[in-house]
Chain A
Amino acid sequence: MGGHLNINHLMFLGQGALWTIGLSMIALIGGGIVGFVIALARISPLKSVRIASAVYVQLVQGTPLLVILFLGYFGLAAIGLKVSPLAAAGASLTLYVAAYLGEIWRGCIESVPKPQWEAAEGLALSRTQRMMKVILPQAIRIATPPTVGFMVQIIKNTSLASVVGFVELMRSGQIVNNSLFEPFAIYAIIAATYFAMCYPLSLFSQRLERRMGYGRSNLAPA
């Protein structure tokens, strides 16, 4: 107990930071895949699919991530499903991110001007062809800045996984602090590390947005 911050502590924090990045990647890739399905389901020609996906989005968006994490870890354990902290945190974040990315992407798909759909229909393209070759390529350009911006939220939100015992950056900071009792120095390091991960993404998102502002003239008149 006690002592000073040394290289071993920093190595431990570094490892936590790597897990923060790893968990963010899991959340982004898992949430991205499920979110893409959600986005397509939200604009499905089938009413039941549209309603089911809308209910999912509303449920998740109306629930704190902390509660979802508790449900995923303690809740599942209580009904006999023992999951590891990594699995619980990964699955909870995936479900959470999917609901938000699904909504962001649905908006982007729908913001491709209607006449683009009609022109593609008029050329006898199937619904899948219209989506893949005409709508999605345009929607992806619109979606990139808000998606990168949302990644910043994901990185910060992974800190909540510390409550289910997953040792990412935040949790490793708590552990180090428990032995050193230097909360100001340690949490300042934690904050700076989060900032170092998020700020470049924020900058990148802003740059993309500026470029999009220019690129918008590319979109056909509505």
Chain B
Amino acid sequence: MQQNALSSEPIVSLRDVQKSFGPLRVLDGVSFAVERGEVLALIGRSGSGKSTALRCIDRFEKVDGGEIVVCGHRVDRPDVDLRALRQDVGIVFQSYNLFPHLTIEQNITLAPCAVKGLTASQAKDLARKVLAQVGLEEKLHAYPEQLSGGQQQRAAIARSLAMQPKVMLFDEVTSALDPELTGEVLKVIEQLAADGMTMVMVTHEMGFAKGIADRIVFMHRGKVHETGPASILTSPVTPELMQFVGTGNLKS
């Protein structure tokens, strides 16, 4: 992983983050940080708060307490500039969420043109470049419904990449895919990691997390229960993580 010496500030940092949905305390003092170029995998049972923690980073959920700093934006503050934050953060969802009325190319060029003011021809070049990165150049003019799930997810990753984010968030991006299609998506993410992209991913793919993550955060009942390098998956300390990895590749 490339480590940038210019800045010692983490790209993402959560400190004592609290979040409740009604009476249900989803995040109970969560803290972790992601350095530049680092790949962090959030794992845990469903309901452990890992997806909520990820969504808080991009302010899809407002936190009740604590501090979240992402690329210098104080995400926990009500006056955070959401559009500036989201130019720095790319997010990819479990259900792809491509825009069905637009071609893949239009899906990709929409935000660079509308937000960053790229000209149509600049944006088209960019679309070609990011689609090549995910191996889908030939699908430029296809509509999302004409693509397989794996291809749609790769296109969604390309759409996110086109905004040249400083950090990418992946929210269970392979959970909606058939097993034989997850591989092609994971390969794209692996390549991104190799290129030095800073990433936070919620995943159920333990083998993948072990292979790609610089650090694992195991969440349990809204808390960071155990954290460390990928090796904690093979030699867990807490009984909860031991049980979690012991039951294998848990689905939500």
Real binding pair: yes
Decide: A125 and B115 in contact? CB cutoff 8 A. Answer: yes
Q: Mark A31-62, 1 if CB is under 8 A from B, else 0.
A: 00000000000000000000000000000000
CB neighbours of B60 from chain A (8 A) = 118, 121-122
Complex Cα–Cα for A134 and B159 (A): 14
Complex: how many Å from CA A222 to CA B89?
Answer: 23
In the assembly, what is the distance between CA of A125 and CA of B145, in Å? 23
B96 to chain A, nearest CB (A): 7
- What residues on A are CB-neighbors of B93 within 8 Å? 115, 118-119, 122
Q: In the bound complex, how far is the Cα of B159 from the Cα of A133, in angstroms?
A: 15
CA distance A158 to B99 in the complex (A): 39
**Shortest distance between the CB of B169 and any CB in chain A (Å):** 9
The reply on A205 being an interface residue by CB < 8 A is no
A8 at the interface (CB under 8 A from B): no
CB contacts under 8 Å to B, within A184-222, are 217-222
A127 to chain B, nearest CB (A): 10
Q: A221: which of B84, B95, B115 is its contact (CB, 8 Å)?
A: B95
Choice from B97, B98, B100 contacting A118 with Cβ under 8 Å:
B97
Bound Cα distance A221, B94 (Å): 10
Q: Is B251 an interface residue (CB 8 A)?
A: no
Instruction: Count how many pairs of residues, one from A and one from B, have CB atoms less than 8 Å apart in the complex.
Output: 75
Q: Are B110 and A123 interface neighbours, CB within 8 A? A: yes
Contact bitstring B109-150, A, C-beta under 8 A = 1, else 0: 011001100000000000000000000000000011100000
A124: Cβ under 8 A from any B Cβ = yes
In this complex, what residue of A is CB-closest to B162?
A: A123
| CB atoms of B145 and A116 under 8 A apart | no
Task: Chain A residues near B160: list those with CB within 8 A.
Answer: 122-123
Asked whether, in the complex, the Cβ of A124 is within 8 Å of the Cβ of B100, the reply is: no
Contacts A124-B115, A129-B114, A133-B110 given; does A119 touch B97 at CB 8 Å: yes
**Residues of chain B within 8 A of A172, CB atoms compared:** none
Instruction: Given A138-B100, A219-B100, A220-B100, verify A123-B95 contact (CB < 8 Å).
Output: no
Q: Is A183 an interface residue (CB 8 A)?
A: no
Which residue on A lies nearest to B86, using beta carbons? A124
CA distance A116 to B156 in the complex (A): 12
B87:A218 contact, CB within 8 angstroms:
no
| Alpha-carbon separation in the docked complex, A220 to B86 (Å) | 22
User: How many of A's residues come within 8 Å of B, CB to CB?
Assistant: 23
The reply on B163 being an interface residue by CB < 8 A is yes
Contacting residues, chain A, for B159 (C-beta < 8 A): 123
A122 and B144 form a contact (CB under 8 A): no
Residues of A within 8 A of B144 (CB): 218, 220
| A141 is an interface residue with CB less than 8 A from chain B | yes
B101 pairs with A123, CB closer than 8 A: no
For residues 148 through 203 of chain B, which have their beta carbon under 8 Å from a beta carbon of chain A?
156, 159-160, 163, 176
Contact A220 B95 (CB under 8 A): yes
Q: Is the CB of A122 within 8 A of B114?
A: no
Q: Are B97 and A126 in contact (CB under 8 A)?
A: no
Complex Cα distance, B99 from A123, in Å, reads 12
22 sampled A-B residue pairs with Cβ under 8 A = A115-B93, A118-B97, A119-B97, A119-B156, A121-B82, A121-B86, A122-B160, A123-B160, A124-B82, A124-B83, A124-B86, A124-B111, A125-B115, A133-B110, A134-B99, A138-B100, A217-B145, A218-B100, A220-B96, A220-B97, A220-B99, A222-B95
Interface of B toward A, CB cutoff 8 Å: 58, 60, 82-84, 86-87, 89-91, 93, 95-101, 110-111, 114-115, 143-145, 156, 159-160, 163, 176
Closest 5 CB pairs of A and B: A119-B97, A123-B111, A124-B86, A122-B91, A218-B100
